[in-house]
Amino acid sequence: MATEKQKYSKGKHPNSLANLHPGSGGGRPKGYLSQEKKRRNLTVTDAGWEGVKPVIRKFGCSSVSEFLEKLGRGEIKISA
């Protein structure tokens, strides 16, 4: 009996292909479509990186990238 790995070559599984096409209901939702995102570099200590994780969860974000995007756009407000 063939396994899934043997049945489909890399990148050819129907579920994977469906995720690539807009409107298929799959894949990550596209936010801020009017602007292209660019890769940025961030330097932070391990303590700082671990410390931000509870903060991003508190604001309902799934990643530091999403948190910074919302913070920069004024969708999240932080007060000292």
Task: Return the pLDDT at 17.
Answer: 64
Tell me the pTM: 0.58
Task: Return the pLDDT at 80.
Answer: 79
- The mean pLDDT values, 10 residues at a time, for the chain of 80 residues are 63 70 55 79 96 94 93 90
Q: Which residue has the tokens 């200590």?
A: 45
Task: Return the pLDDT at 23.
Answer: 55
User: Is residue 64 situated within a structural domain?
Assistant: yes
User: Is residue 70 situated within a structural domain?
Assistant: yes
User: Is residue 15 situated within a structural domain?
Assistant: no
Domain holding 72, by residue range, is 42-80
**Both tokens assigned to 17:** 């292909």
- What is the domain count for the chain? 1
CA distances from residue 49 to 46, 56, 62, 66 in whole angstroms, order as listed: 5, 11, 14, 14
Task: Return the pLDDT at 2.
Answer: 52
